[in-house]
Structure 1
Amino acid sequence: MSHAAVDPTFYRSPADAIAAPPEKLAYVVTFDRAAERPDALAVVDTDPESAQNGQIVGWAELPTKGDELHHFGWNACSSAFAHAGHHTDGLQRRYLLLPGLRSSNLHVYDTHPDPRQPRLVRTISADELATRAGYSRPHTLHCGPDGIYLSCLGSADGNGGPGGIAVLDHDTFEVVRAWETDRGPQQLAYDAWWHLNQNTLITSEWGTPSMVEDGVVPELLLANEYGHALHFWDLAEGKHLQRVDLGAEQQMVLELRPSHDPNATWGFAGVVISTEDLSASVWRWRRDGDQWTADKVITIPAEPADAELLPPALKPFGAVPPLVTDINLSVDDRFLYVSCWGTGELKQYDVSDPAAPREAGSVRLGGIVGRVPHPLAPDRPLAGGPQMVEVSRDGTRIYLTNSLYGSWDDQFYPDGVGAWMAKLTTDPHRGGLTVDEGFFLHGEDFRGRRAHQVRLQGGDASSDSYCYAGF
């Protein structure tokens, strides 16, 4: 392999990623809840030396309406070093793939030659996804060993299950096939990640499109019908190996964050809510001999609240559930960030010992009851809360956005969720969180759209998996 031709944002080890130059741009997907205007990809200047730091410097609108952009990702990452039969020479972290969670369309944007002005180069239709892979409602994607892996919530009809993973061609982005060859008991889908060196893929569970489309369905939640298990697979063969049930009351097992150390065999999964006590939790999975197991390592209790301040869905309970909707693990595997979208808190845990996390920092912004303002606008109560969280490769900067999913926003923040993006800073060795008072996008900064996920130029803590050890 001629390493001179390898994209410099492909990092052989976590240590290389940490030492790389910091991001100067962030990409943010935004969506119009009313579907009256196109969703858009916003480009935010994150360079502290720039006069435009904290401002939107690029804006690319989709050619369609009603897509509801949600999660998105790069066409390639550091896992390219392990792509059998696909050379890293010429492969670049260049294209951003934007799935529409409601439309099932997938739009591909080229960030070259001007990273501030992404250009639409390809659209993969819902029909192509359904016909070639049998799936709909694309949610999360990662660059994988034999293609781009796209997890999908629904089957071809767009409403029911099973959900699963579609494989896209690395170069053309055409839908190639469904990834699974034997799905075993798996029916519900959400996230998918892996331990490359262990030949293991992990998936989590939310619900079918009809279960999540219009908000939480109380009857399904109280009957424990949403996802509550992890699934472990043979990555090379697409075969289901093991189901690990976290308990029926542990409803909605969402984000997966495997250790970045390619030789480690553990990771974290976030659970939105327990139907026993409205708490949220984080679980650690790990290999135990030739089996996988999972244990709860963090419990975050609900907070009592005046029923008059609560949305209708929560009034009977007299409490605000944390609603852990995202988690993120720093590239050095040192700190875990946990978004409590309901209470408006971002928690930071020292997970140097992944079996015994220790809280190291906390910041509150927004919240169903708290409505904590940003320091830059102390008279502006914030709706929503820390939701999607992204961490810079060097572990010093944390970016937050506040929208979960359109119908869920409306259910828990019925007077409006607004739109905002904030930045926190931390000491990557000691921890602790501080709000960057000079970085705050909100309201019309996003041109009437809601802000969802953030991706950082050159990669971030949840973009890449690594092939070689080293910290």
Structure 2
Amino acid sequence: MELPSVFAPFKRDPTFYPSPKMAMKSPPEDLAYVACLYTGTGINRPDFIAVVDVKPESETYSKVIHKVELSYVNDELHHFGWNACSSALCPNGRPNFERRFLVVPGLRSSRIYIVDTKLNPRQPNIVKTIEPEEVKKVTGYSRLHTVHCGPDGIYISAFGNENGEGPGGILMLDHYSFEPLGKWEIDRSDQYLAYDFWWNLPNEVMVTSEWAVPNTIENGLRLEHLKDRYGNRIHFWDLRRRKKVSSVTLGEENRMALELRPLHDPTKLMGFINMVVSLKDLSSSIWLWYYEDGKWNGEKVIEIPAEPTEGGLPEILKPFKAVPPLVTDIDLSLDDKFLYVSLWGIGEIRQYDVSNPFKPVLTGKVKLGGIFHRADHPSDHKLTGAPQMIEISRDGKRVYVTNSLYSTWDNQFYPEGLKGWMVKLNANPDGGLDVDKEFFVDFGEARSHQVRLRGGDASSDSYCYP
């Protein structure tokens, strides 16, 4: 039966889905929003959000059709996210919200831009700017990183305090005004280092990870800092009480516990995290964190070794005569079947079948750039840098990849220069991966980082229904 017109104003945002299974049936994306930066390149220009046409039948397919130029230089765009998403449909959510605004923080500046995509999705514009002084005054945090749209507010992680030390943590923005509200944590216990975060909403669990404080990382990697200034723990919190309840160390020899990818199925209290480097042998690893028998556990399920070589190494790697994998990002398809892993040192994207999360199976691999492979795009475009950020379409068939990690680290590991690009991989539903020869986006001297797909993607939304 058709509802009377009086109900029309209460129609929910069509990009919100109660469950990941329903989200997988959504229409394919037509636009990608990409964080691009001049910070660290020597070019004195503001960073920008690029709008890329990703609709294959479009005349401007794989082209940058607009740039949202920021107001200042040296913001260092990194990760950004939506003001609202499918979590709004949770029992304590606000289903009258809409996925309209991109919340775009500067990692180096701590400034926050609010970008409106509704009036013209192909030409969004900045409608509000929250200055770093306001962020620091209200929250005490700086160097803003990950943005997640929660059911009750907008959450943003921060590396450290206003002086560039710790503790790092999470701050909240008001859903309506975007004004900073304050620190999220009530009882952090011994948590000091911060990086990523995500959650399981029905079980009221928050999970956070560790990189290092701003003063350690901002000027580049110093090898002598690896042993005692970089994190290797994962923390578990009571989401409602905002209290840390447990921590797990992910191997004493491992450092840099970065991206958290919980299973999208809200009935399963588990997820994956990548450890960037082992002090023992330069390998990278993927760990499964899970709740069992009343406690939190961590188990290594994938290990990727370094590749021995003596040629073409940057100064920072010459003493080791090897290229570490440097697994710097991972992403999980909405059906929780495939985990994608970027090897920013070697130059690969790998696809693992994680239907059994404890025993991943390698099902696909492509070579792109890298210190080790130095592989070009199949369309003959030369690739500098290597696969870094990964974003997966909601149906799991397309994977978008960009190549910049962090400005000062880019300069250390790719001193010959890193120019921004985005490529698309086609994923076989039964396993397998290949590079789309028709899709290549060249950002020129600007470097490319986070990708957000219009309407949502595999790492933007969280769900409360299985």
For Structure 1 versus Structure 2, the TM-score category normalised by the shorter chain is over 0.9
Superposition RMSD in Å: 1.2
Q: Paired residue for 1:316?
A: 319
Please tell me whether the aligned partners of residues 206 and 253 of structure 1 are also in contact (alpha carbons under 8 angstroms): yes
Distance 2:43 2:153 in 1: 31
Please tell me whether the aligned partners of residues 139 and 153 of structure 1 are also in contact (alpha carbons under 8 angstroms): yes
For 2:77, give the aligned amino acid. Answer: L
SS at match of 1:314: helix
Q: Paired residue for 2:114?
A: 108
Q: Find out whether 1:212 has 2:217 as its counterpart.
A: yes
Q: Paired residue for 2:105?
A: 99
For 1:404, give the aligned amino acid. Answer: L
Q: Paired residue for 1:74?
A: 82
Please tell me whether the aligned partners of residues 216 and 229 of structure 2 are also in contact (alpha carbons under 8 angstroms): no
1:59-458 → structure 2 map (5 Å cutoff): 59-82=67-90, 84=92, 86-89=93-96, 91-157=97-163, 159-221=164-226, 223-306=227-310, 308-377=311-380, 380-428=381-429, 430-442=430-442, 446-458=443-455
Report the Cα offset of residue 163 of structure 1: 0.3
SS at match of 2:143: strand
Distance 2:71 2:229 in 1: 36
Q: Paired residue for 1:13?
A: 19
Distance 1:42 1:437 in 2: 21
C-alpha distance after superposition, 1:72-97 (max 9, x if no partner): 0111110011262x5312x1111001
Distance 2:220 2:84 in 1: 33
Report the Cα offset of residue 448 of structure 1: 2.4
Q: Paired residue for 1:29?
A: 35
For 1:436, give the aligned amino acid. Answer: D
Q: Paired residue for 2:464?
A: 467
List runs of 5+ in structure 1 lacking aligned partners: none
Please tell me whether the aligned partners of residues 419 and 444 of structure 2 are also in contact (alpha carbons under 8 angstroms): no
C-alpha distance after superposition, 1:137-170 (max 9, x if no partner): 000010113211100001122x111000001101
Report the Cα offset of residue 136 of structure 1: 0.2
Assess, with a 3 A threshold, how the Cα gap between structure 1 residues 411 and 170 changes in structure 2: closer, same or farther: same
Report the Cα offset of residue 131 of structure 1: 1.0
For 2:449, give the aligned amino acid. Answer: H
Report the Cα offset of residue 240 of structure 1: 0.6
Please tell me whether the aligned partners of residues 224 and 251 of structure 1 are also in contact (alpha carbons under 8 angstroms): no
Please tell me whether the aligned partners of residues 348 and 386 of structure 2 are also in contact (alpha carbons under 8 angstroms): yes
SS at match of 2:46: coil
Report the Cα offset of residue 290 of structure 1: 2.0
Which is further off, 242-251 or 292-301? 242-251
For 1:227, give the aligned amino acid. Answer: G
Report the Cα offset of residue 396 of structure 1: 0.2
Report the Cα offset of residue 459 of structure 1: 0.4
User: In the comparison of the two structures, how many residue pairs are matched?
Assistant: 457
Report the Cα offset of residue 225 of structure 1: 2.5
Q: Paired residue for 2:3?
A: none
Sequence identity percentage: 54
For 1:346, give the aligned amino acid. Answer: I
C-alpha distance after superposition, 1:434-470 (max 9, x if no partner): 100000012xxx252111110001100000111110x
Q: Give the TM-score normalised by the residue count of structure 1.
A: 0.95
List runs of 5+ in structure 2 lacking aligned partners: 1-6
Please tell me whether the aligned partners of residues 420 and 444 of structure 2 are also in contact (alpha carbons under 8 angstroms): no
Distance 1:42 1:270 in 2: 28
Please tell me whether the aligned partners of residues 334 and 396 of structure 2 are also in contact (alpha carbons under 8 angstroms): yes
Distance 1:418 1:119 in 2: 25
Please tell me whether the aligned partners of residues 83 and 146 of structure 1 are also in contact (alpha carbons under 8 angstroms): no
Distance 1:67 1:195 in 2: 31
Report the Cα offset of residue 58 of structure 1: 1.5
Distance 1:286 1:258 in 2: 9
For 1:113, give the aligned amino acid. Answer: L
SS at match of 1:409: helix
Distance 1:95 1:213 in 2: 28
Q: Find out whether 1:43 has 2:47 as its counterpart.
A: no
Please tell me whether the aligned partners of residues 344 and 370 of structure 1 are also in contact (alpha carbons under 8 angstroms): yes
SS at match of 2:229: coil
Report the Cα offset of residue 369 of structure 1: 2.8
SS at match of 1:188: coil
Distance 2:43 2:285 in 1: 34
SS at match of 1:313: helix
Report the Cα offset of residue 15 of structure 1: 1.2
Please tell me whether the aligned partners of residues 7 and 93 of structure 1 are also in contact (alpha carbons under 8 angstroms): yes
For 2:440, give the aligned amino acid. Answer: F
For 1:342, give the aligned amino acid. Answer: G
Please tell me whether the aligned partners of residues 26 and 43 of structure 1 are also in contact (alpha carbons under 8 angstroms): yes
Please tell me whether the aligned partners of residues 94 and 152 of structure 2 are also in contact (alpha carbons under 8 angstroms): no
